[in-house]
Amino acid sequence: MINIIPAIDLIDGACVRLVKGDYEQKKVYAKYPLKMAQKFEQQGIQYLHLVDLDGAKARAVQNWDVLESIAKNTTLKIDFSGGVRSIEAVKRILETGANQVTIGTMAIRQEAVFKEWIQTYGAERFILAADVKDEEVFVSGWKEATGVHIDTLIQKYLDLGIEYVLCTDIAKDGCLEGSSINLYTKLIKKFPQLKLIASGGVANLEEIQTLDEIGCWGVVVGKAIYENRIQLEDLATLSTK
């Protein structure tokens, strides 16, 4: 079964959701991320996608205390992203308790540096973030087009041992309009060894079941949880035990 990965996006230490990555379209859903994470855990969820939006904007991790509190007070397997720009930050994230670090911008803008991180900590500790629009990769909080096709990016890092890829369709994120089933199907067929994590637009359980059927390893669910479109109790029944 597909792995269910709830998202907690952080601004000023609170759980928020943006629409298409736009900081001006922000809605605060919970003031205490730890309580939300514990709620996920109590329902049998095993994974957490923790995004430091302050860090992404500042280009340096900001919400260290939230990562530490969730890591210390839950058994969730955390992947952390947002503002990771140095090997010192990677080291601290892993030592603080995250299982994996999700990397997007650095994989495009600083390839040599990211390759060094992979060699130092092992490919299994990283998730490649491929944020796309019309199959072109975007970086820097989805604001910069790179001219790089998603297939090219994935192949490059598969060759370096990366197995996990978190693919977000920018046009769908935070919109509850459905995820990019066709894109994910195409990627899984082309890269069968890939552990593909779908993200963006997930609106209901039926869609998650479809993502499972096409072979996605995991799915990030955010706004649908916070807007009560999907109940945690139902999500838990779909999770890998």
Catalytic pick from 52, 54, 79, 131? 131
Strand ranges (E), the chain: 3-11, 14-19, 22-30, 47-52, 77-81, 100-103, 126-133, 136-139, 144-149, 164-169, 195-199, 218-221
Tell me if residue 52 is catalytic.
no
Tell me if residue 131 is catalytic.
yes
- Dmax over CA atoms of the chain, in Å, equals 43
Which residues are 167's β-sheet partners? 130, 198
Instruction: List the one residue out of 170, 168, 177 whose CA is nearest residue 143.
Output: 170
What is the Cα–Cα distance from 215 to 218, expressed in whole angstroms?
Answer: 9
Catalytic pick from 9, 52, 54, 212? 9
Burial bucket for residue 183 (CB in 10 Å: 0-12, 13-18, 19+): middle
The residues annotated with a catalytic role in the active site are 9, 131
